[in-house]
Amino acid sequence: MKLYAALALFRSGKLSAGAATELAGIDRYAFIAECKKHNIPILNYSPESLDAELADLRQIS
């Protein structure tokens, strides 16, 4: 029951992945596997945010 609550709260953006793993009582890898099983994206970048991140990374290298 805690897992499903954690997944729902994570999906809605009300909990971070770390907080959701704590609520569910499982490790991060198990939580990621559960997210995959339930088609919940782990990363939620907007196209603009992703472009900005990539631009920053290109400046570093």
pLDDT tens column, 2-49: 999 999 999 999 999 999 999 999 999 999 999 999 999 998 778 898
Phi then psi for 23, rounded to 5 degrees?
-60, -45
- Report the distance separating Cα 36 and Cα 34, nearest Å: 5
Res. 61: pLDDT tops 70: no
Round to whole Å and give the CA distance between 6 and 38. 12
